[in-house]
Amino acid sequence: MNNKNIREAAQIIKNGGLVAFPTETVYGLGANALNPFAVAKIFELKERPSFDPLIVHIASFDDLKILSTGVTDNVMRLAKYFWPGPLTIVLPKSQLVPDIVTSGLNTVGIRMPNNAIALELIKESKCPIAAPSANKFGQLSPVNAQHVKKQLPNVDYVLDGGHTTVGIESTIVSIEGDICQLLRPGFITLEDIEEALPNTFVFNHTKPEKLVSPGLLKSHYSPQKPLYILKDPFGNIPETSGLILHRNDHSIYSVSKVIYTSQNCNKIEISSNLFAALHAMEEDKNVKSIYIEAVEEVGLGIAIMDRVNKAAYQYIKPTN
Site track 116-155 with ligand TXA (rule: CB under 6 A), x = hit:
---------------xxx----------------------
Single residue of 70, 98, 109, 161 touching ligand TXA by CB under 6 A = 109
Contact between 64 and ligand TXA per CB under 6 A: no
- Is residue 151 close enough to count as binding Mg ion by CB under 5 A? no
Which residues does 84 contact at the CB level (< 8 Å), separation at least 6?
Answer: 112, 113, 114, 115, 119
Number of residues near ligand TXA (by CB under 6 A): 28
Q: How many residues bind Mg ion (CB under 5 A)?
A: 1
DSSP string, 175-235: EETTEEEEEE--SS-HHHHHHH-TTSEEEE-SS-SS-SSGGG-SS-SB-SS-EEEEPSSP-
Q: Which helix (H) or strand (E) holds 3?
A: helix 3-14
How far is Cα of residue 13 from the mean position of the Cα atoms in its chain?
21
Residue 180: phi, psi to the nearest 5? Answer: -120, 125
> Which of 55, 158 has the CB closer to ligand TXA?
55
Q: What angle do CA 44, 45, 47 make, to 5 degrees?
A: 65
Residue closest to 21 by CA, chosen among 36, 35, 31: 31
Return the number of the residue (26 or 79) whose C-beta is nearest ligand TXA: 26
State the binding partner of 28 from ligand TXA, Mg ion, none, CB within 5 to 8 A by kind: ligand TXA
Helix (H, G, I), strand (E, B) or coil at 38: helix
Cα 313 to Cα 48, 184, 226, 318: the distances in Å are 19, 17, 10, 10
Which residue from 12, 31, 140, 172 is in contact with ligand TXA, where contact means CB under 6 A? 172
Sheet holding 129-130, edge to edge: 157-158, 19-21, 28-32, 129-130, 55-57, 107-111, 87-92, 171-176, 179-184, 201-204
Taking the C-alpha atoms of residue 128 and residue 142, their distance in angstroms, rounded to an integer, is: 21
| Cα dihedral 82, 122, 34, 141 sign | negative
Among 32, 68, 102, 133, binds Mg ion (CB under 5 A): 133
Q: Does 74 sit near ligand TXA (CB under 6 A)?
A: no
Part in contact with ligand TXA (CB under 6 A); list of ranges 200-208, 213-221, 242-250, 302-310: 213-221
Q: Is 139 in the site for Mg ion (CB under 5 A)?
A: no
Contacts of 235 (CB under 8 A, 6+ apart): none
- Part of the chain binding ligand TXA (CB under 6 A), chosen from 51-59, 272-280, 287-295, 299-307: 51-59
- CB of 90 vs ligand TXA, minimal distance in Å: 4
Instruction: Supply the minimum distance, in Å, between the C-beta of residue 132 and Mg ion.
Output: 5
**133 vs 213 by CB, closer to Mg ion:** 133
Q: Which is nearer to ligand TXA, 12 or 183 (CB)?
A: 183
Q: Which is nearer to ligand TXA, 151 or 241 (CB)?
A: 151
The answer to whether 90 contacts ligand TXA (rule: CB under 6 A) is: yes
Give contact residues for ligand TXA (rule: CB under 6 A).
23, 25-26, 28, 52-55, 86, 88, 90, 102, 105, 107-109, 113, 131-133, 169-170, 172, 183, 212-215
